[in-house]
Copies of this chain bind each other. A is one copy, B any other.
């Protein structure tokens, strides 16, 4: 049990103790900063560096964090992996390839609910990222409880550090939000009712009749159906129906006043 369970800050999406991100031997400050930015995008705020090449603090990291100061200012630096992991109950190690170790393997999508379960029991978890060029070494794999591998184009799997951090964080955040995968942006209006649509069609057909559009009587039923299909498919709003009726009136030389 960690004693670090504190108040849930808003920037973490209400989670008191979100996963810690541990970067082993990171090189360019640019990449550390971009990783920090990706972390805050996803409600992760606890960054730890083991033997950063260019020391710490690092101006390039701050510049590339693009305002994720809360992450940069609280970043901790360690000389040894063991010290960076000491207070964690569970550690997951990211790796691009299978190893000589018997370990559970998660995708980022599978890891997210796993971490949320473990954290809900009061445990503290971390995700470890290896050196940028070489990835984690077998000694790092041995420090972890499980590994994480992102399913990607098998011919081109190499992710940069910030992008690997982003994918772990992205799935972490998605597992905690309840946004529908598809919705209609409605902008203070409402979908048209079937009555709105029927009035539109009656209006339109009357004006088409008056203007001589339905020349061949036997084709009328089919043409009416086609026209109704066009507008039904458009998922119109109430306001858009009024706009269309205004267009009809204008084209017929009149002035439309909404009566609905």
Contacts and interface: CB of A to CB of B under 8 A. Distances in A.
Interface in A149-165: 150-153, 155-160, 162-163
Nearest to A182: B110
Interface in A69-98: 98
Given A11-B153, A174-B151, A182 B114 contact: yes
Contact of A110 (B99, B103, B180): B180
A33 to B, nearest CB: 11
B152 A105 contact: no
Contacts of A180: 107, 110
B163 A163 contact: yes
Which of A114, A153, A162, A182 has the most chain B CB within a 10 Å cutoff? A153
A179 interface: yes
Interface string A110-147: 10001000000000000000000000000000000001
A230 to B, nearest CB: 16
Nearest to A110: B181
A128 to B, nearest CB: 16
Contacts of A151: 173-174, 177, 179
A40 B103 CA distance: 28
A13 interface: yes
Contacts of A147: 185
Interface residues of A, number: 57
A38 B163 contact: yes
A32 to B, nearest CB: 14
Contacts of A10: 155
Contact of A183 (B37, B104, B109, B152): B104
A43 B166 CA distance: 18
A189 B37 CA distance: 41
Contacts of A38: 159, 163
A187 B102 contact: yes
Contacts of A189: 102
Given A38-B159, A104-B183, 14 more contacts: A11-B155, A11-B156, A41-B158, A66-B160, A68-B156, A99-B187, A102-B237, A102-B240, A105-B184, A106-B181, A107-B181, A152-B170, A152-B173, A163-B166
Interface of A: 10-11, 13, 34, 37-38, 40-43, 66-68, 98-107, 109-110, 114, 147, 150-153, 155-160, 162-163, 166-167, 170, 173-174, 177, 179-187, 189, 237, 240
